[in-house]
């Protein structure tokens, strides 16, 4: 298993060491929960509350060397950009969208001739501004969305770089960046990184003075943009604009003496498996054993057999609670039935997951979520009908 090349500031190195113990849930030194990447078996990466794995997701953006522009009154600036995937493992990124915004104007979506960005690989994109009508400062913002995939699962993020263009007298142009360096690949202080475009005497062209190398542009996570555009979190309904934290606490109710302990998803594959098979605490593979009981509180063995040994997988993906059906009987959420061959199902606040669609009253899971300032930090899953504290099997 590949290990991380370096822990980001928000994740302590001690957490990486303790995560090597297969069944570890919390770091033995700092006490924080160990939130493993969905691809942990390959990358060995941990994620923070934002769900981003710095081993799998390491985009970099550069202004290409020898960038040329003819900055005159009424002219435009051409920015030749290079997108680079600095992931230390063979994990491709998929750049799905790029937007450019000038000053306080609207964002313009830029057409992409490519999408896949292999690890260690780069792709180029030329971005043209609108007319620079005056001398002085011109703000340019470049934002892009990137996705990483692992089997059927996907995580999407947005990153942004803000440039301040100073058109000076005499024809020179300075590109200034002032970024909060908590972004990708940076330290902990504010960074001021000037890139000067100077007039060349022999041709009159302006070329970026970058020492013959592409100049890296600092990136920040665009978390507000992610939520507003539905890149992460819920795009409609009661939770519109809210994002499920990767460290959200899962609270279980109504499961009687089978109730799991409350806490975030800390499994090795970042999945909670639910089904007829035994729970991990009893030597099985499920986080929660789910069986059917009659009105008298006794186990209904025949109906329980209709629940697959591993019936449902719950996980957090791109800031949303999701379910993948692995049981042959499928599940039903509202009026929609989801089978084992269907796409991943999105779970909303108030949804009831009917575990056996043909017997909707047999057993269900009601989901409720609590959001604070747009972040969902607690999810309550209640069994309906609820079980008494002591069950006869």
Residue 388 confidence (pLDDT): 81
Do 320 and 201 belong together in one domain? no
Confidence class of residue 130 from pLDDT cuts 50, 70 and 90? Answer: confident
Record the pTM.
0.85
Do 74 and 29 belong together in one domain? no
Residue 258 confidence (pLDDT): 84
Q: Where are the beta strands (DSSP E) in 187-271?
A: 191-192, 195-199, 206-209, 215-217, 220-221, 243-255
How much is the average pLDDT of 40-53? 95
Residue 67 confidence (pLDDT): 58
Q: In the chain, what is the straight-line distance between the N-terminal and C-terminal CA atoms, in Å?
A: 41
How much is the average pLDDT of 91-107? 93
For the beta carbon of residue 70, count every other beta carbon within 10 angstroms.
Answer: 12
Residue 257 confidence (pLDDT): 86
Residue 200 confidence (pLDDT): 39
The verdict on residue 186 lying in a domain is yes
Residues near 101 by Cβ (< 8 Å), separated by ≥ 6? 107, 108, 140, 141, 143
How much is the average pLDDT of 85-99? 95
The CATH number of residue 279's host domain is 2.60.200.20
Distance in angstroms (rounded) separating the CA atoms of residues 86 and 84 = 6
Residue 169 confidence (pLDDT): 53
- With 60 as the cut, is the pLDDT of residue 35 above it? yes
Residue 42: exposure state from Cβ atoms within 10 A (0-12, 13-18, ≥19):
middle
Do 32 and 71 belong together in one domain? no
In this structure, are residues 15 and 46 in contact, taking their beta carbons and an 8 Å threshold? yes
Distance in angstroms (rounded) separating the CA atoms of residues 210 and 195 = 7
Residue-wise pLDDT for 246-264, tens only, equals 999 999 999 998 899 999 9
- State the average pLDDT for the chain: 84
Residue-wise pLDDT for 281-309, tens only, equals 899 999 999 999 998 889 999 999 999 99
The verdict on residue 392 lying in a domain is no
Do 196 and 284 belong together in one domain? no
Confidence class of residue 71 from pLDDT cuts 50, 70 and 90? Answer: low
**Element containing residue 227 per DSSP (H, E):** helix 223-229
Do 345 and 373 belong together in one domain? yes
* Phi and psi angles of residue 305, each rounded to the nearest 5 degrees, phi first: -65, -20
Distance in angstroms (rounded) separating the CA atoms of residues 324 and 253 = 21
Respond yes or no on whether the N-terminal peptide bond of residue 385 is cis (omega within 30° of 0).
yes
Residue-wise pLDDT for 323-382, tens only, equals 999 999 999 998 999 998 788 999 999 999 999 999 999 999 999 999 999 999 999 999
> Which percentage of the chain shows pLDDT scores above 70?
80
CA atoms within 13 A on the CB side of 285: 11
Do 47 and 69 belong together in one domain? no
Do 83 and 189 belong together in one domain? yes
Distance in angstroms (rounded) separating the CA atoms of residues 130 and 312 = 51
Residue 193 belongs to domain spanning: 59-227
- The residues with which 345 forms a beta bridge, in sequence order, are 323
């Amino acid at each position: 298993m590949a290990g991380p090349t370096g822990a980001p500031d928000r994740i302590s190195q001690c957490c990486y060491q303790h995560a090597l113990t297969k069944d570890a849930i919390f770091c033995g030194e700092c006490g924080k929960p160990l939130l493993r990447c969905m691809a942990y078996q390959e990358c060995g990466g941990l994620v923070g509350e934002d769900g981003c794995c710095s081993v799998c997701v390491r985009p970099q953006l550069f202004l290409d060397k020898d960038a040329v522009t003819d900055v005159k009154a009424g002219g435009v600036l051409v920015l030749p950009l290079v997108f680079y995937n600095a992931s230390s493992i063979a994990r491709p990124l998929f750049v799905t969208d790029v937007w450019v915004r000038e000053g306080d104007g609207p964002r313009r979506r830029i057409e992409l001739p490519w999408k896949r960005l292999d690890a260690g690989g780069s792709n180029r994109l030329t971005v043209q501004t609108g007319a620079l009508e005056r001398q002085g400062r011109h703000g340019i913002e470049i934002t892009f969305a990137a996705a990483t995939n692992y089997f059927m699962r996907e995580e999407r993020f947005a990153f942004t770089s803000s440039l301040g263009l100073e058109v000076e007298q005499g024809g020179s142009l300075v590109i200034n960046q002032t970024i909060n360096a908590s972004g990708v690949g940076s330290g902990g202080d504010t960074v001021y990184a000037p890139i000067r475009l100077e007039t060349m005497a022999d041709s009159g062209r302006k070329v970026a003075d970058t020492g013959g190398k592409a100049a890296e542009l600092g990136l920040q996570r665009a978390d507000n943009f992610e939520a507003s555009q539905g890149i992460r979190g819920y795009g409609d309904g009661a939770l519109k604009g809210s994002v499920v934290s990767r460290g959200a606490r899962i609270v279980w109710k109504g499961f009687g003496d089978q109730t799991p302990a409350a806490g975030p998803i800390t499994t090795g594959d970042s999945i909670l498996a639910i089904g007829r098979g035994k729970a991990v605490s009893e030597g099985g593979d499920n986080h929660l054993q789910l069986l059917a009981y009659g009105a008298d509180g006794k186990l209904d063995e025949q109906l329980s057999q209709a629940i697959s040994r591993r019936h449902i997988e719950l996980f957090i993906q791109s800031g949303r609670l999701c379910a993948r059906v692995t049981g042959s009987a499928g599940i039903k959420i509202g009026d929609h039935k989801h089978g084992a061959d269907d796409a991943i199902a999105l779970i909303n606040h108030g949804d009831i997951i009917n575990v056996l669609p043909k017997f909707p009253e047999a057993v269900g899971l009601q989901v409720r979520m609590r959001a604070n300032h747009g972040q969902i930090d607690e999810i309550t899953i209640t069994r309906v009908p609820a079980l008494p504290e002591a069950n006869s099997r």
